[in-house]
Amino acid sequence: MTSDGNGPVLMPSEVSHRVGPFDVFAGWSSKIASRAAFFTFCVLLVVVWAPTYFLLRDVNTWQLIINTITTIVTFLMVALLQNSQTRSDQALQHKLNAIADGLADLMAFIETGGEGRDLGQDLVELRAAVGLESHESTSSNRAATNSSATSSAASQSRSRPPRE
């Protein structure tokens, strides 16, 4: 279960490879916004705006134009960048889940002398974690769409015997 008890812990192999159009657009936007060219565009926008005072001759209209443009752009960029940050955080959490699960199984494997432990699924999960951030989606994970029987079977396959 997740820390808030809302559902099963997702492993990298349970993350859908289908990324929605908004997630793709948000990822593309965050790559563009983090480049020097975007910063240069923003500076250029201010440089072009500044001399328009002489055309408008009204300080209120002049300020209203830049305030409206920057408010709209800021509002949209916050939504897009928050989506990208959420997907990145989820991918990181799935990777940590795979590492912790693999480490716990490895420790149990060593403790029991290798009896009753197959580390093959842990290898699959750890390999699936590589590059997970490129196909992480905010809404299309398999655990959300699978039946509860599938998720409970997956969680039972990862359950550990009690420690002595």
DSSP codes joined into one string, the chain:
--TTSSSPPPPGGGS-S---HHHHHHHHHHHHHTSHHHHHHHHHHHHHHGGGHHHH--HHHHHHHHHHHHHHHHHHHHHHHHHHHHHHHHHHHHHHHHHHHHHHHHHHHHHTTTTT---HHHHHHHHHHTTGGGT--SS--HHHHS-HHHHHHHHHHT--PPP-
What is the domain partition of the chain in residue ranges?
A: 16-144
Give the pLDDT confidence of 95-139 residue by residue, as tens digits: 888 888 888 888 877 877 877 667 777 777 777 777 766 666 666
Q: How confident is the model at residue 164 (pLDDT cuts 50, 70, 90)?
A: very low
Q: Which of 43, 44, 62 is nearest to 52 (CA)?
A: 62
Residues 67-88: tens digit of each pLDDT: 998 899 899 889 888 888 888 8
What's the CA gap between 9 and 90, in Å, rounded? 11
Q: Is pTM beyond 0.85 here?
A: no
Give the pair of three-digit tokens for residue 17: 């490879």
Calpha distance 111→89 (Å, rounded): 33
CA distances from 147 to 5, 141, 153 (A): 17, 12, 10
